[in-house]
Amino acid sequence: MNPKDDKRTASCSSTVFVHNPYLDGLKDDILYHFGLGTGTHDLPAMFGDVKFVCVGGSPRRMKAFTEYIAAELGMEDPKSEYPNICAGTDRYAMYKVGPVLSVSHGMGMPSIAIMLHELIKLLHHAHCTDVTVIRVGTSGGIGLEPGTVVVTKQSMDATFQPKFEQVILGKTVVHDTDLDQSLAEELLQCGKELNQFETVIGNTMCTLDFYEGQARLDGAFCSYTEEDKKDYLKKASEAGICNIEIESSVFAAMCKLSGLRAAVVCVALLDRLKGDQLSSSHEVLSGYQKHPQILVAHYIKKQLKAKAVCS
Ligand code: R2B
Ligand code: URA
């Protein structure tokens, strides 16, 4: 639907757009991988107040994020277990506290793309407005100290191009991967204010896989030399790439298509110029994984405080 044709579009609030003329013809829309649907759930009542959606790979991490943000916002309920809203399925997990929704997306572009189709429809059916979506994740850094948080400027593919390609009906469709630059700058500023860990802004390379796709030497297969790997990572660095992960490009493309303000905030778990294996202890890696959550919680708190002052 064109933004101008949407009667719900108020002068200063933006809705979540779907671009599918067939959706209106559906009696009920079943969000299969969430175990939710328009015929079975009152989506506006359940989700109409959502303003921030935080997405990340692991269900456990997204539950931990919900507990953390609830405490940070002073919304924690000591008796609450934060039930998984998607309990009817084990594909994704979803938690909600106040205006913050946390959703897991699994690993890789196909997994996050399926989740995003259903998330965008959910937000649309729930008549949500002014929603910000942030991926809080992990990545491999290029020349960064482990624990550094990278706020993505632009998501690049494995050939260092800022695009996401999808084959639809046998034809390659190219989407751009622009993220909201002002949101990225605000998040960088939050990292500076917190001053608890290094935060940088830079390009993120999104690959099809964790091993050969990211020039690792420790996969089941390796069809290149260590010299080739070093040369590739050097070229990536020269293209402004600071970190590598496997979801950001389709995330950026789909959020842009639906008019969602979006950002990617990932911690670097290791420096890929120094190695491939994640050899730090579980405690150290868990500590690093909290960095994007701390930063994004700070951002959400600031936004809610500013809104409270204005209203
Ligand atoms: C980063 O870490 C995960 C793989 O270990 C994947 O979800 C990603 O993008
Ligand atoms: N996630 C990735 O995709 N790559 C890494 O090296 C670490 C986490």
Q: Is residue 176 located within the same domain as residue 302? A: yes
State mean pLDDT over 248-272.
98
Does residue 275 form part of some domain? yes
What pLDDT sits at residue 77?
77
Atom of ligand 1 nearest to the CA of 247: 9
Does residue 15 form part of some domain? no
Does residue 11 form part of some domain? no
What pLDDT sits at residue 237?
98
Q: Is the pLDDT of residue 239 over 50?
A: yes
pTM: 0.95
pLDDT tier at 254, thresholds 50, 70, 90: very high
State mean pLDDT over 254-279.
98
Q: Is residue 108 located within the same domain as residue 159? A: no
Angle formed by the axes of helices 109-125 and 248-257, nearest 10°: 20
CATH number for the domain that contains residue 304:
3.40.50.1580
Tell me which of 102, 130, 158 is where a domain ends: 130
Give the pLDDT confidence of 123-139 residue by residue, as tens digits. 999 999 999 999 999 99
Q: Is residue 223 located within the same domain as residue 303? A: yes
**Contact residues for 252 (Cβ-Cβ < 8 A; gap 6+):** 152, 154, 155, 164, 177, 178, 179, 262, 264
What pLDDT sits at residue 5?
44
Q: Is residue 82 located within the same domain as residue 187? A: no
pLDDT tier at 76, thresholds 50, 70, 90: confident
Q: Is residue 143 located within the same domain as residue 52? A: no
Q: Is residue 223 located within the same domain as residue 297? A: yes
Tell me which of 130, 161, 190 is where a domain ends: 130
Least confident of 1-15, 34-48, 84-98, 211-225: 1-15
Name the 3-class secondary structure at 79: coil
Q: Is residue 270 located within the same domain as residue 305? A: yes
212 C-alpha to center of ligand 1: Å? Answer: 14
Q: What is the CA radius of gyration of the chain?
A: 19
- From 92, 99, 95, select the one nearest 67 (Cα to Cα): 95
CA distance linking residue 177 with residue 293, whole number of Å: 23
Name the 3-class secondary structure at 243: strand
Does residue 160 form part of some domain? yes
What pLDDT sits at residue 12?
61
Parallel/antiparallel/unpaired status of strands 261-271 and 132-141: parallel
Does residue 83 form part of some domain? yes
In the chain, % of residues over pLDDT 70: 96
268 C-alpha to center of ligand 2: Å? Answer: 8
203 C-alpha to center of ligand 2: Å? Answer: 15
Give the pLDDT confidence of 188-207 residue by residue, as tens digits. 999 999 999 999 999 999 99
HSE-CB of 14 using CA atoms within 13 angstroms: 13
* Smallest-distance ligand from the CA of 243: 2
Q: Is the pLDDT of residue 298 over 60?
A: yes
Tokens for 63, please give them.
Answer: 């539950």
Which residues have CB under 6 Å of ligand 2? 138-140, 210, 214, 244-246, 269
CA 146 to chain centre: 20
Domain that holds residue 34: 26-130
What pLDDT sits at residue 173?
98
State mean pLDDT over 23-47.
97
Tokens for 119, please give them.
Answer: 């998330």
Q: Which of 60, 115, 210 for a ligand 1 pocket mutation test, highest count of atoms within 8 Å of Cβ?
A: 210
Q: Which of 244, 266, 284 for a ligand 2 pocket mutation test, highest count of atoms within 8 Å of Cβ?
A: 244
Q: Is residue 75 located within the same domain as residue 145? A: no
pLDDT tier at 2, thresholds 50, 70, 90: very low
Place of tokens 């909290």: 290
- Residues pairing with 151 in the sheet: 201, 265
Q: Is the pLDDT of residue 79 over 90?
A: no
* Smallest-distance ligand from the CA of 276: 2
In the chain, % of residues over pLDDT 90: 92
Q: Is the pLDDT of residue 11 over 70?
A: no
Atom of ligand 1 nearest to the CA of 105: 7
CA distance linking residue 282 with residue 264, whole number of Å: 24
Q: Is residue 220 located within the same domain as residue 286? A: yes
Nearest alpha carbon, ligand 1 atom 6: 107
Q: What's the domain count of the chain?
A: 2
Please spell the DSSP secondary structure of 12-81, one letter per residue: T--B-----TTGGG-SS-EEGGGTEETTTS-HHHHHTT--EEEEES-HHHHHHHHHHHHHHTT---TT--
Q: Is residue 253 located within the same domain as residue 162? A: yes
Sign of CA dihedral 60, 84, 135, 56: positive
Task: Give me the amino acid identity at 59.
Answer: P
Tell me which of 95, 112, 130 is where a domain ends: 130
Cα angle 235, 237, 241; round to 5: 120
Does residue 242 form part of some domain? yes
Q: Is residue 120 located within the same domain as residue 153? A: no
Q: Is the pLDDT of residue 9 over 60?
A: no
Does residue 287 form part of some domain? yes
106 C-alpha to center of ligand 2: Å? Answer: 13
Q: Is the pLDDT of residue 66 over 80?
A: yes
Q: Is residue 126 located within the same domain as residue 203? A: no
Q: Is the pLDDT of residue 218 over 80?
A: yes
Does residue 208 form part of some domain? yes
